[in-house]
Chains A and B, each alone.
Chain A
Amino acid sequence: MAIEKDHFEQLRHLLLQSDRDNYAEQNERILSKLDELERELNDPEKFAGVIQKSKSEIIDVLGPVLGKMMKKFISSEISRIKENIEKQSKAIFSFQFLKQKIKNKVAGVSKSDAAISEAMGGSLLQVFVIDKKSGLLIGEYSPQNILEPDLVAGMLSAIKSFVESAFGEENSELESLEYSSYKILLYNFNRFYFACVLEGYIDAELRAQLQDDFLDLTDKGLGTISLKNIDDQLKERVEIELDKKFSKKYT
């Protein structure tokens, strides 16, 4: 029995020896390749070479993501810096600050806002006028055509309803939404609301200016419109008013 086992072991040894040698050789090749790769990755010059070779592919993949991140980051950093400037101005030069404020109030501009918005001004992309009750689009001002403004108006109203009923504060309404570098400001009136899509740095002056524009629009043109039938005639009337108000002002 013991002799038979020995023979079996010898046979197994003879048959599998070449496989064992092959595996050992392959393992060695893989390990040396891994070492080589590790060396290349740790060698800044070689790594830079790899990046250089696939430069355009890397830009295609990372460009849009980084662009959006940077845009948003810069926008929020500017808001932060602006706040700091105002805080410091208030603390250190309170008299001067007050004086400047009064001066700017006459001109309608805050000092820090004036400097920043001059360089970074936010741009108005779209304005929607939406029936508060039904969420139907009454009219829109849109220099760049967007897909299905009716659906956007509906979804904005659904989101607005959701937020307002989730937090349920009396007499409170959703005033803004933020997405990527876009900001949607909502100006609420009794029967309808304006949704304003903006991009870039939105300063207090621009907000206030828009508020004035919408108050003016409601006061003069849209305040008396009947929402019983939201049809093309109403849409045309509203869009003429919007166009008059915005086409020259915010380009």
Chain B
Amino acid sequence: MASVNLQYVVKETSTNLKRNVFITIAAVLVVLVSMYLVGAVFVASFAVDRALTLQTKKVEVAVFLKRDVTPEERNSIQRDLIAMPEVATVSYESKQQAYETFKKLFRDEPDIVENTTPDALPESFRVKLKDPNQYAVVRDRLEGRAGIDQIQDERKFLSRLLAVVRDVRVLGIVMVVLLTIAAGVLIATTIRMALFARRREIAIMKLVGATNWFIRVPFMLEGVIQGMIGAVLAMALLVATRPFYTNLLKSFKFLNLTVTYTEILANSMWVLVFGILIGAIGSLLGLRRFLDV
């Protein structure tokens, strides 16, 4: 009996898909676009989160010294820094080392590098804290000391960056939600049309005592297949367009945002789950009123 049902379901589903070829294509394409964006948001979130975590670990407090700092002042600051219980490591960056870093950072803009001399850059102590949140304690203790020009917490830049990332992510999620709704509604519409095309069959099926699930399953499967095809295509497209967006991401020099093909695939598995869910929910939406007994 199960085999008869399976055969029936396959037959009915494929008839329905063929009958509404154009609207089926439209539904699949909308699923494709929305699932591509869902996947992009997932992959991007993964890459950004990883890069930021890495960066947070590298974050330091920079203690810039005055131009006219004396060696005694410098030594005493270093001694005190090392003695502080909150401090993990202290390293000294000379004007020359600062210049090297500067050169690396601006390697694409030779004009700036040429017009800068090592002497124009300040020497500094690079301080790593055991707990980055204790920045204020360290700063208060050092503030106003002779020889210190400025104390900077690099986390500030990072938190600004984090705020931007958060905004972009919210925007992305809003778009994804809207497109997902559109995809679901379109699938519901194709199911509605398939139901309408078969209303006589359905009326007879109900009359002779077919169960509602028996009537529903081919239609649900139709929606699920549309969602699944769209999602699989979206995954393929995500993988295929990797060269394009890794190029784009390279322009963010200070964060390493590149992702491997495997990472793309792993993160876009959710796309498949989403696609199937949209198909199922969309078709249930389309079936909702029609099958009330």
Chains A and B come from one and the same complex: no
- Tell me the B residues contacting A by CB distance below 8 Å: none
- Tell me the A residues contacting B by CB distance below 8 Å: none
